[in-house]
Amino acid sequence: MSQRRQHQQNIMVAFMAIQSHFMTEEEFNALYDKRPRKFWVKPWLTEQHRLLFGQYNRLMTQLRLEDEASFINFIRMPPQLFDEILQRIEHRMNKRATNFRRPLEAGLKIAVTLRHIASGDKYSSLQYNFRCGRSTITKFVPEVCRAIVDEFKDEVISCPTTSEEWRKISDEFYRRWNVPHACGAIDGKHVSIRCPPNSGSMFYNYKGFYSIVLLGLVDADYKFLWVDCGGNGAMSDAQIYNASELKYHLQEGTIGLPNPEPLPNDDKDMPYYILGDDAFGLRTYLMKPYSQRYMTREQLVYNYRISRGRRVVENAFGIMASRWQILLTQMMQTPDNVRIIIEACVILHNLLRMKFPSMQNTQLDSEDSEHNIVPGAWRATAYMHEVDQVRGHNVDATRAKRQREYLRLYFNSTAGSVPWQDNMIS
């Protein structure tokens, strides 16, 4: 915002504040309604009322000065990050002023968008809080989300492509979760949407509602390395995953994973892999727990160790949905706009994780001194819906099963066990 416009706005706000001190809002409306207007606008949606009574200029300014914790609760981020986002995407959103009206401030658009995805409030509710017309909000929310994605995506979602980058992630998984050679954990969730017109059953999932599927690969610190939010609800996660670039490069060996190396304290080469659950097929590059009903003690230990590493992706989805609660509602936008909003939520999740990690730590699952799980605060909110399980033939089953059997033996050996694992399965 230019200094000249800021100065004019400050004078206008001060003038109206003095007036409003001596009159009710109804009297204030009557005063400004006397002015002739070429285009009809509801009085409470005018710029004067927005500056004086809207939440962006009044409430958020007050919270920023007096109560930062409430500011964070309102738009789910600290003022410093809000200011950085404004500074970096403002140029993508500026529109020319006309003889009839000035465009909305970029900061106001960002605030409305953040409040929408943070609370899940409908546009019809936000228009009263921020004094912006519903149709206007409908237009600029996807624009703001697109600007956030375009500005930050390459910076905060970066899937490794070299063995050195993957090895750093693997080392962190081993250091924090005692799972060697793990290079990420993958999972998928359904995001509920309103049935798009003339779409038939394209978005209707097996759980009985319309949705878009979000797949994500997460590192050991709960950050998303890769996401795919293009799948329709009627598609199985297998179809979405199998059609993804991630699956292609994993299968072709072109994603840059390190060459097989011995596990810690061992001498047999073992491939590097990602962690999944029953929703994904067992492969040499994707390890998952045993799923049969009756398991041996060694299989239970293996499942505990793999599931302990996988917990990062469950927590990543959980704290993201807890903070950006639009993901827990039925989203009313078009599928294309839903996808860009989801992607913006992932970007904002990673931004917060990178710049303000302590804000999320209290929401995460943790372990007590005996390694029992202490549920995180995110579990008090509703859960995102899981994707369905993969069905069909596993073409790489033989080698993958042998690899899983070796990991089972390793986790139960002196070389690969941890002292508390037997207590966790008893």
Q: What are the boundaries of each domain within the chain?
A: 3-155, 157-425
- Reply yes or no on whether the pLDDT at 61 is more than 50: yes
What would the two tokens of residue 387 be?
């994707």
pLDDT of residue 234: 84
**Helix H segments across 54-162?**
59-66, 68-75, 79-93, 106-119, 123-130, 134-156
Higher pLDDT, 188 or 23: 188
pLDDT category of residue 379 using cuts at 50, 70 and 90: low
DSSP line for 147-211: HHHHHHHHHH-----SHHHHHHHHHHHHHHH--TTEEEEEEEEEEEBPPPTT-TTTTB-TTSSBE
Q: Which amino acid is at 248?
A: Y
pLDDT digits (tens, 9 = 90+) for 312-368: 999 999 999 999 999 999 999 999 999 999 999 999 999 999 998 877 666 666 666
Flag the least confident range among 62-66, 90-94, 379-383. 379-383
Are the C-beta atoms of 45 and 133 separated by less than 8 Å? yes
pLDDT digits (tens, 9 = 90+) for 98-109: 555 677 889 999
Q: pLDDT tens across 213-232, in order?
A: 999 999 999 999 999 987 88
Task: Report the distance separating Cα 104 and Cα 228, nearest Å.
Answer: 32
Q: Compute how many other C-beta atoms are within 10 angstroms of the C-beta atom of residue 122.
A: 13
Most confident of 25-39, 47-61, 191-205: 191-205
pLDDT at position 392: 44
Which pTM was predicted?
Answer: 0.83
